[in-house]
Amino acid sequence: MLRLTFFLYGILASINIYLADSLTVQILSILGILFGLGIAISWPEPLPPPPPPDLWSEAPDDKERDMKLCSNCGKAVDQKWSMCPYCSKKV
């Protein structure tokens, strides 16, 4: 909406050039055209609205992967692994 307002301001300033008799008013109208159309072209697009608060779901309570403990060092390793990556012993 703001870009449209500056664009209309530039258009009205260009009409004012043809209707004005004074050189000072014509110079000010040219500056108005440059300012209004410059802002209308370079003004950034507005940001999209923020996402709704219920967009993200809660994290699941259970783990996604099954884990087991290493019999040597006691750290958790993946259920499918046969060797512990921490102590290099067989699980």
pLDDT reported for residue 55: 74
pLDDT reported for residue 5: 87
| Start-to-end C-alpha separation, the chain | 66
pLDDT reported for residue 47: 77
Residue of higher predicted confidence among 46 and 27: 27
Q: How are beta strands 76-78 and 67-69 bridged, if at all?
A: antiparallel
C-alpha span between 75 and 70 (Å, rounded): 6
**Could you tell me which residues are beta bridge partners of residue 77?**
68
Classify residue 76 by its DSSP letter.
E
Burial of 3 (0-12, 13-18, 19+ CB in 10 A): middle
pTM above 0.85, yes or no: no
Q: Break the chain into its structural domains and give their ranges.
A: 2-42
- pLDDT, tens digit, for every residue of 36-87? 888 888 888 777 888 887 777 676 666 666 788 888 888 888 888 888 888 8
* 16-36 mean pLDDT: 89
C-alpha span between 32 and 63 (Å, rounded): 63
